[in-house]
A = this chain, B = another copy of it.
Amino acid sequence: MNSSVHPAQVRNVKIDSPFWNRVVNLVRDSVLPYEWAALNDQVEGAEPSHCLANLRIAAGEAQGEYQGMVFQDSDLAKWLEAAAYSLSVHPDPELERIVDETIDLLGRAQQPDGYLNSYFTVKEPGKRWTNLQECHELYCAGHLMEAAVAYYQATGKRKLLDIMTRMARHIDSVMGPEPDKLHGIPGHEEIELALVKMYEATGERFMLDLASYFIDERGKQPSFFKQEYEKRKGDTYFGLNTRPESYAQNHLPVREQTALEGHSVRALYLATGMAEVAREKEDESLLAACRRLFDNLLQRRMYVTGGVGSTENGEAFTFDYDLPNDTAYAETCASIALCFFARSMLRLDLDGRYADAMERALYNTCLAGMSLDGKNFFYVNPLEVLPEASHKDPNKRHVLPVRPKWFGCACCPPNLARLIASLGSYAYSWAKGEAYVHLYLGGEARLGDGVALTVNTEYPRTGRIEITPSAGKYALNLRVPGFSQGNFELRLNGKSTAAPLNKGYLRLDRAWQAGDRVELLLDMTPRRVYANPSVRADAGKVCLMRGPLVYCLEQVDNGANLSALYLPTDSPVTETFRADKLQGITELKAMGKRAEQNGDEALYRYSAPRKTAVELTFIPYYAWANRGENEMCVWIKEG
């Protein structure tokens, strides 16, 4: 275990490439202002958030009832965190003023004992810490802690960090292993990873210990939430008392868990916290548990799009190889959480499998969570959609064929904003004498010890990545994505060169000279991808990927009834960059077949449907559902 790897600081990374400029600018110029308006209930046609209104009531500066979900504070927290990242690299005095004012408001809403939560301050002041299962006090606190660290790192301003330090102390005074404290755990994990960030920012050891406590306590008393429910005499907020213990990963001590179970976002936030604590505490058994969970996820529970969570019921994992395409949940937040977990694992093991999973989730499910105009968002990311089924089959009601504006439970949009706004910290990391590049976003990165990298690329439009390292003696570790292993070229100052490839990373250890230029040429040939035959939903099917991008078929390009289409094994796939389509995509085409109705209307017949030749058009999955309601599918029958 290498506990001295640091992700790049967001403020030290400038992202610059045609693919990512669009997304990063969209988040900064459209999503953040849009979300701020949403948090202030100013988006027409969207469900009101009540978020700021609740906080003003909590601060005693407005009258009214608390409205919205019990965890509404977290939407603001995620927005604040995203805004902080944005300010890190793109100064904006007006935005900074808004953030400062909001932090001041949070300070005024904080109670004298350090407690901060608008729901329990306004609506149920006597009931703090009585419903950890459902009421998200620790979850909201965790998100505000992440925002506090981000804003401190962005601006050096400590106010929110101090507010959340007081809240952390308050929590520490209420909960923990000591006999006189409440031996509780959060129903929705988040504070574990946030406390480690707070610890890294403040050096306050109690924060790490509290994170560690929450992790070790989980699963020790599987009936904790039930006891809590009985103490409340059956009072419930969401009816979560009927959920199995695995819903909140409380079925077993975390070190004994071998698969991510239950609510997918909770499970992945927990896993991220576990990895963070394992690193800080150099806890090998906790790390081993993290590795087991990640392996199971990669080998048995992840969609090809990096989506996770197979069922809407409990927004949850189900069982190994159960990856239905048309009833998938695959929440945007869960794939964001998968990126968190992967980033944390990459600090522990330099293993390209983690980066591959992160890239898969990022370029596909995370990006699909947002419309190309940044104004509409998916919560659920299916791999197959028939709009009529979404409208008429109650089991598919959650599978929306078009992105709505804003959700009453709006976890995904601000979560996506904070991911995109902090992408630099996922792309690079460093340790003494080592620089790591995990994602090829283009731009510049300043890492530790004066190491700086300039990356020039149009990836994933092309596979050419040019890196100019700053002078000095250090190893440059470049990830070769799984799709290109076995077929890539490395050049140093224009000449092909070799370097050791270990677990997906090339290592170039040199005394770098000013002007040195490294080129990595990845193989972006469109490829057929097959699922393990144990995945029933994908048996007999194939999908196309080009680089990290999963492709899909849409009705608007291919006509209705996508289930009648076939891609023959030997049909060549051609690619064309289409600047005019879907804000610039590489479109794939192949000759395929369509099964046709044979004459009459018989439902069953003794002859196979006739197949006619058709041209199939594939677009990147992230760009689907931007041209009106229509069918979509990722997997197509082969044959």
Q: Tell me the bound Cα distance from A25 to B602 in angstroms.
A: 36
B-facing mask of A379-421, CB < 8 A → 1, else 0? Answer: 0000000101100111100000000000000000000000000
Q: Please report the C-alpha to C-alpha distance between residue A542 and residue B639 in the assembled complex, in whole angstroms.
A: 14
Asked if B530 and A392 sit within 8 Å, CB to CB, the answer is no
Residues of B within 8 A of A392 (CB): 318-319, 322
Q: Which residue of B lies closest to A633 (CB)?
A: B536
Other-chain contact of A566, B395, B531, B535, B540 (Cβ < 8 Å): B540
Chain B nearest CB, measured from A602 CB (Å): 7
Q: Does A90 contact B (CB under 8 A)?
A: no
A609-B533 CB under 8 A given contacts A299-B601, A304-B604: yes
Report Cα–Cα, A604/B393, bound state, in Å.
Answer: 30
What chain B residues lie within 8 Å of A535 (beta carbons)? Answer: 603
Interface contact A530-B393, CB-CB below 8 Å: no
How many A residues, CB 8 Å from partner?
Answer: 54
* B605 & A313 in contact (Cβ 8 Å cutoff): no
Per the bound structure, the CA–CA distance linking A21 and B597 in Å amounts to: 41
B311 touches A394 (CB 8 A): yes
B596 touches A529 (CB 8 A): no
Q: Which of A506-549 contact B (CB under 8 A)?
A: 527-536, 539-540, 542
CA distance A527 to B637 in the complex (A): 23
For residue A21, give the distance in angstroms from its CB to the closest CB of chain B: 29
With CB as the reference atom, state the residue of chain B lying closest to A299: B601
Q: Judging by beta carbons under 8 Å apart, are B604 and A532 in contact?
A: yes
Cα distance A527–B605 in the bound complex, in angstroms? 10
Q: How far is the CA of A563 from the CA of B395 in the complex (A)?
A: 22
Inter-chain CA distance A536–B387, complex, in Å, is 13
Assess whether A453 is interfacial by the CB under 8 Å rule.
no
- Of all chain B residues, the one with the shortest Cβ separation from A639 is B639
Cα A96 to Cα B421 with chains together (Å): 81
Q: Known: A533-B596, A607-B530. Contact between A564 and B539, CB under 8 A? A: yes
Q: Which residues of B contact A608 (CB under 8 A)?
A: 528, 530, 542, 569, 638
Pairwise interchain contact B528-A606, C-beta atoms closer than 8 A: yes
Of residues 294 through 323 on chain A, the ones whose CB sits less than 8 Å from some CB of chain B are 298-300, 302, 304, 310-311, 313-314, 318-319, 322
For the complex, what is the distance from the CA of A599 to the CA of B403, rounded to whole Å? 40
A534–B531 Cα gap in the complex (Å)? 25
Separation of A535 and B596 alpha carbons in the complex (Å):
12
Q: Does A561 contact B (CB under 8 A)?
A: yes
Given A322-B389, A608-B569: A597 and B532 interface contact (C-beta under 8 Å): yes
Which of B327, B395, B540, B601 makes the CB contact (< 8 A) with A540?
B540
B542:A563 contact, CB within 8 angstroms = no
Interface hits, A200-238 → B, CB 8 Å: none
Are B395 and A597 in contact, with the CB atoms below 8 A? no
A595 in the interface, Cβ–Cβ < 8 Å?
A: yes
Q: Contact check, B318 vs A532: say whether CB atoms are below 8 A apart.
A: no
Task: Please determine whether B540 and A597 come into contact, CB atoms closer than 8 angstroms.
Answer: no
How many whole Å from A359's CB to the nearest CB in chain B? 13
A319–B535 alpha-carbon span in the complex (Å): 27
* Smallest CB separation, A450 vs chain B (Å): 40
**A318 and B389 alpha carbons, distance in the complex (Å):** 8
Known contacts: A601-B299, A607-B530. The answer to whether A639 contacts B327 by CB under 8 A is no
Docked Cα-Cα span, A388 to B389, in Å, equals 25
Question: Which B residues are CB-close (under 8 A) to A389?
Answer: 318-319, 322
Contact pick for A605, options B322, B388, B529, CB 8 Å: B529
Q: Are B388 and A319 in contact (CB under 8 A)?
A: yes
Given A322-B389, A540-B639: A395 and B532 interface contact (C-beta under 8 Å): no
* Chain A stretch 543-586: residues in CB contact (< 8 A) with chain B: 561, 563-564, 566, 569
B637 touches A393 (CB 8 A): no
- CA–CA, A195 and B560, complex, Å: 46
A311 touches B534 (CB 8 A): no
When distances are taken between beta carbons in the complex, the residues of chain B under 8 Å from A561 are 533-534, 536
Once the chains are docked, how many angstroms separate the CA of A615 from the CA of B115?
68
Give every chain B residue within 8 A of A318 (Cβ-Cβ). Answer: 389, 392-393
A529 to B605, CA, bound (A): 6
- Cα A395 to Cα B393 with chains together (Å): 12
Smallest Cβ-Cβ distance to A360: which chain B residue = B604
Pair B394/A606 contact, Cβ less than 8 Å: no
For the complex, give the distance between the alpha carbons of A389 and B318 in Å: 8
Q: Are A533 and B597 in contact (CB under 8 A)?
A: yes
C-alpha spacing A395/B396, complex, angstroms: 10
Cβ–Cβ contact A322 & B393, under 8 A: yes
Residues from chain B with Cβ under 8 Å of A605 in the complex: 529-530, 532
Q: How far is the CA of A318 from the CA of B604 in the complex (A)?
A: 19
Q: Are B601 and A395 in contact (CB under 8 A)?
A: no
Indicate the member of A536, A540, A638 with the most B CB atoms within 10 Å.
Answer: A540
Once bound together, how far apart are the Cα atoms of A92 and B530, in whole Å? 63
Chain A residues numbered 589-639 whose CB sits less than 8 Å from any CB in chain B: 595-597, 601-609, 637-639
Interchain nearest-CB distance for A202 vs B (Å): 40
Cα separation A388 to B321 with both chains bound (whole Å): 11
A70-87 residues with Cβ-Cβ distance < 8 A to B are none
A314, A389, A532, A561, most chain B CB atoms within 10 A = A532
A531: contacting residue among B483, B596, B604, CB under 8 A: B604
Residue contacts A-B, CB under 8 angstroms, 16 given: A300-B603, A310-B393, A313-B394, A318-B392, A319-B388, A529-B604, A529-B606, A530-B605, A532-B602, A533-B561, A533-B595, A533-B597, A533-B609, A534-B561, A539-B564, A539-B595
List 13 additional contacts besides A300-B603, A319-B393, A539-B595; criterion CB under 8 Å.
Answer: A313-B393, A327-B395, A527-B606, A528-B606, A530-B604, A532-B602, A532-B604, A532-B605, A532-B609, A533-B596, A534-B564, A536-B563, A539-B637
Shortest Cβ-Cβ A-B pairs, 3 listed: A536-B563, A313-B394, A533-B595
